[in-house]
Amino acid sequence: MWNEPYLETCCRSALHRLRLSGAHGRPQGLVDEPCLERLEKRGFACTEEDGRFHITPEGEARHRSEVLRKKA
């Protein structure tokens, strides 16, 4: 049974870009900021002291299961 909240295509893409950004994270002010903020509200991203968005462990797991389609 599917029990995870649905991610829009744009948010899945933002999650993938966030994952690809690695330790550098994604800066604020980009076109995908609304998606990054949604990801942050769901616990898949966080804003660090540097003011950039970074992926969380929950975001890593969601990226594996939804973007890469690999089981945890």
Q: What average pLDDT does range 35-48 have in this prediction? A: 96
Report pTM. 0.88
Q: How far is CA 63 from CA 10, 43, 46, 55, 71, in A?
A: 13, 12, 15, 10, 10
Q: What average pLDDT does range 56-63 have in this prediction? A: 96
User: DSSP E strands: which ranges in the chain?
Assistant: 45-47, 53-55
For each of the domains in the chain, give its residue range(s) and CATH number, in order of start.
9-67 (1.10.10)
1 pLDDT more than 50? no
